[in-house]
Amino acid sequence: MDDVLRGTVALVTGASSGIGRAAALTLAGKGAAVALTARRAERLTELADRIEAGGGTALVLPADIADEAEAARVVERTVEELGRLDTLVNNAGLMLLGYASESPLADWKRSVDVNLTALMHTTHAALPHLVRAAGDGPRKVADIVNVSSLAGRRAVATATAYCATKFGVVAFSEALRQELAPQHVRVCVVEPGAVDTELRGHNSPEMQQALEQMFGGIERLEAQDIADAIAYGVTRPWRVAVTEMVVLPTEQV
Ligand code: NDP
């Protein structure tokens, strides 16, 4: 464990698997107390046990953050139990692929609800706490990290709603960054390429096969590769704002 985030508190959404799980472990390894949220409580408990076995502090807050009240409760419980909030990692997401003409409208709405609206829920609730943390903490800075995607910079067929949400996350992040800069709250948007996680598992066998054809021949990133990028951004000295990171598998074109 190194100590660079000692005394700080991080909230990680989507901590039950993939990138969020790796990010929570990594931030805890740097001394942050971490609040873990997602819907699958057992996964969060297993992660918290692991963090605590390593000498860290973890708080399990199961929630569906697409629900405004649940998202607000997660932020409030984090501050009540852990005392403050220095780092918000908005990572929860889902990727529902399909041709537009064949996609249920419900899939598009669910994509917006989870990838964009839920991120706004946690951000809105966290803002006053982050501003306070930047003002009174020894590091003189607080952080929001929003996990978008390469699909937030390059739209692709069969990912209409997913791309719309991820472009939205990029725009939201940049506008927020400009507003919060004077208060020392940094906003970083991370845009991964293909990462080996459970994300693609929510799609039809046909769509999973199409993804396999697109990316199966290359070495995908590991969740830890993105966790490392997140940790890099939030461990810079207060004067350094890493605002955008595109992280791709070397072989991805
Ligand atoms: P996973 O499917 O492994 O993780 C997604 C996480 O989001 C899970 O912890 C899931 O938890 C959580 N989640 C989903 N819906 C909700 C909800 N309503 N409320 C709370 N939590 C929710 O995928 P990744 O780790 O790959 O995805 C993390 C982020 O990275 C996503 O935003 C994704 O778009 C982005 N990304 C991923 C890429 C990839 O190739 N894997 C590439 C580019 C970006 P639970 O089900 O327990 O609620």
First to last CA, the chain: 36
Q: What is the best residue among 122, 150, 197 to mutate for testing ligand 1's pocket, by most ligand atoms within 8 Å of CB? A: 197
Is residue 65 within 8 Å of 36, Cβ to Cβ? no
Spacing, Cα 15 to ligand 1 middle (Å) = 8
Domains of the chain: which residue ranges? 9-246
Candidates 67, 79, 90; CA nearest to 14 is: 90
Tens-digit pLDDT profile for residues 121-160: 999 999 999 999 999 988 999 999 999 999 999 999 999 9
Question: Nearest residue CA, atom 2 of ligand 1?
Answer: 199
Is residue 236 within 8 Å of 142, Cβ to Cβ? no
Q: Is 221 in the pocket of ligand 1 (CB under 6 A)?
A: no
Burial of 91 (0-12, 13-18, 19+ CB in 10 A): buried
Rounded CA-CA distance 32/44 in Å is 17
Spacing, Cα 188 to ligand 1 middle (Å) = 18
Supply the residues annotated as catalytic.
162
- Which atom of ligand 1 is closest in space to residue 20's alpha carbon? 25
Question: Nearest residue CA, atom 19 of ligand 1?
Answer: 64
Spacing, Cα 140 to ligand 1 middle (Å) = 30
The pLDDT value recorded for residue 51 is 98
State the CATH class of domain 9-246: alpha beta
- Each residue's pLDDT, cut to its tens digit, for the chain (253 residues) gives 679 999 999 999 999 999 999 999 999 999 999 999 999 999 999 999 999 999 999 999 999 999 999 999 999 999 999 999 999 999 999 999 999 999 999 999 999 999 999 999 999 999 999 999 999 988 999 999 999 999 999 999 999 999 999 999 999 999 999 999 999 999 999 999 999 999 999 999 999 998 988 887 899 999 999 999 999 999 999 999 999 999 999 999 9
Q: Is 149 in the pocket of ligand 1 (CB under 6 A)?
A: yes
Spacing, Cα 21 to ligand 1 middle (Å) = 10
